[in-house]
Amino acid sequence: MNMSAAPRDASMISPSLEHALETARHVVVFTGAGVSAESGVPTFRSAGGLWEKYDPHQLATHEAFSHDPDLVWSWYSWRRNTIRGVEPNPGHYAIAEAEQLFPQFTLVTQNVDNLHQRAGSSRVHELHGNIERSRCLACGTYFMGDEAPPTDKAQSCSCGGFIRPDVVWFGESLPMEELQHAQNAATSCDLLFTIGTAATVYPAAMLPVMARRAGAYVVEINPEPSSIAHEVSECITGASGVVFPVIIERLKQLRTTA
């Protein structure tokens, strides 16, 4: 495993990574909260994160919503408004550009903030849902963005059912179709980048491990090594908004000189 500083220029990208970039047909990018933290989105589990200030069992469970839907809805309205006040960062834009550079590309995210889509990524597999999306508990109707109730109080659908944020709460399973697609991509890709995730939430944290065991070259990009850093092919220490744009620029240079 190669532990290195964040590359300031292409010469600091390892030969092994260059080879993987040149030969990969199917690339997976797997992102976590660290990518969005660089845009100013509050994280949950890091020091000073949201769970130090709020009890997740009062705000992010089905039981909490059943007990006090107005409290839960108002908290998610606050989070939604906070996220709408930030912008995608260079890491988001580099990931969106990568989608256009490989024959097959899969983006899997644990983030719910919609920043990948705002940066231009068109095919995003969301393991934990999307805070801009809501759904009716009774009839299953989805509401996107401004279609969702704008108030700080929980609202009812036209069918009479409560509308909830379409995010995965504690005690809930990940969306099976999205998880299956992510696992299939991880076990069939040539190159996987795991970016901005501490790899502590399962089963999502197993995706880079599955990819490595299936023969893919796996690169971790994080300010600090994650809990699965020993399982990957190479670690690059640094912010995604610094590191990944350099990687994409180097890829384009390699193709120009090929």
Q: Is the distance from CB of 194 to CB of 218 less than 8 angstroms?
A: yes
Active site residue 67: no
Rounded distance between C-alpha atoms, residue 253 and residue 258, angstroms: 9
Element (H, E) at 167: strand 163-167
The 8 Å CB, 24+ separation contacts for 86-89 are 86/36, 86/39, 86/40, 86/41, 86/115, 87/39, 87/118, 88/39, 88/115, 88/116, 88/118, 88/119, 89/35, 89/38, 89/39, 89/240, 89/241
Q: Residues 92, 116, 125, 128: which is the catalytic one?
A: 128
Angle at 220 between CA 181 and CA 170, to 5 degrees: 55
Residues 235-257 as b/e (b if ≥16 CB within 10 A, e otherwise) read: bbbbbbbbbbbbbbebbeeeeee
- CA dihedral in degrees (49, 50, 54, 56; nearest 10)? -110
Active-site residue set: 128
